[in-house]
Amino acid sequence: MPNMSGKVALITGANSGIGRATAEAFAAKGVLVSLAARREDELANLAARIQAQGGTATYVRTDVSVAKDVEHMVAHTIDTFGHVDYAINNAGIEGRFAGITDLNEEDWDQVLDINLKGTFLGMKYQARSMLAGGRGGAIVNVGSINSLFGFPTGSAYAAAKHGLVGLTSSVSAELAPQGIRVNIVCPGFIDTPMHRRLRGIVGDEVYEKAVFPRVHARRAGRPEEIAQAIVFLCSDEASYITGATLTSDGGYTSTF
């Protein structure tokens, strides 16, 4: 893979799961990482871990559903490192699952605000900084296999994740002519805290009998495996890939 040392990556939802693994993967390649999430103590611990391993990291507490927070997140990264080369919009929540007749507006708004509006706000300010810097760049949004299909009681989550595909395609069409590539990664069942919470709700038996038999790899993915896909999409090896939806799910969706 081409040398990425000295580049700058901004990662939301960096405190755990895929975001954390992505930050560590970038740092291992000499990329300067800016970590953003709501839980500041976890960000501080991750930044310290990266620095102890010889990397360079900063962090900023951010609620991606709040425009001022997102604008500050980008400004903090530029103030610290001078520019942004790669932006990873990974922050997301599962929210409350409920049937459409029982789902309330507050639950709907929370999921859409973080999972969809948060990515819109991220790209708005990330793109502004990249365009102003004149260096080009790469943006990777993190969707889900539920960007491709829904499931009972998951209307808010699936709607937000579906929206990310259209958002990614549209913004790619705007920015690619100006040297900024925009793609989306759609992970399957990945062993993250969110996945473990969902598995606890659904039950291990359902996963073992109904879910994993449809996964060609017959296992959950690792956060590090998604992180490597994200790093690849940011690299020069992916220089002709933009507006793409990369599904990393162990073969699950190909069974539909």
> What is the per-residue pLDDT across 163-176, written as a single tens digit (0 to 9) for each?
999 999 999 999 99
- Whether residue 78 lies inside any domain: the answer is yes
Is 1 inside any structural domain? no
**196: Cα separation from own chain's centroid:** 18
- DSSP labels for 53-94? TT--EEEEE--TTSHHHHHHHHHHHHHHHS--SEEEE-----
- Report the candidate in 237, 238, 246, 230 with the shortest Cα–Cα distance to residue 14: 230
* Catalytic pick among 59, 86, 125, 157: 157
pLDDT at residue 1 is higher than 90: no
**Domain around 140:** 8-244
Q: Do the domain assignments include residue 204? A: yes
> What CATH number has the domain bearing residue 55?
3.40.50.720
180-236 pLDDT, tens digit per residue, is: 999 999 999 999 888 787 777 767 777 777 778 889 998 899 999 999 999 999 999
Residue 251 lies in a domain: no
Measured between alpha carbons, how far is 87 from 223 in angstroms, rounded to an integer? 18
Return the pLDDT at 202: 66
| Predicted local distance difference test score (pLDDT) of residue 208 | 76
Q: Are 124 and 71 within 8 A, CB to CB? A: no
| Predicted pLDDT at 193 | 82
Q: Report pLDDT for 222.
A: 96
Let me know if residue 206 belongs to a domain.
yes
Give how far Cα 70 sits from Cα of 15, 119, 170, 178, Å. Answer: 16, 10, 20, 22
Quote the pLDDT of residue 256. 67
Give 20-40 pLDDT, tens digit per residue. Answer: 999 999 999 999 999 999 999
Q: How many structural domains does the chain have? A: 1
Burial class (CB within 10 angstroms; exposed 0-12, middle 13-18, buried 19+) of 219? exposed
Is residue 140 in some structural domain? yes
Q: Is pTM, for the whole model, over 0.85?
A: yes
pLDDT of residue 130: 98
pLDDT at 179: 98
Residue 86 known to be catalytic:
no
DSSP state of 111: H
Phi, psi (5° rounding) for residue 92?
-170, 160
- Please check whether residue 249 lies inside any domain of the structure: no
Domain membership of residue 255 (yes or no) is no
39-87 tens-digit pLDDT: 999 999 999 999 999 999 999 999 999 999 999 999 999 999 999 999 9
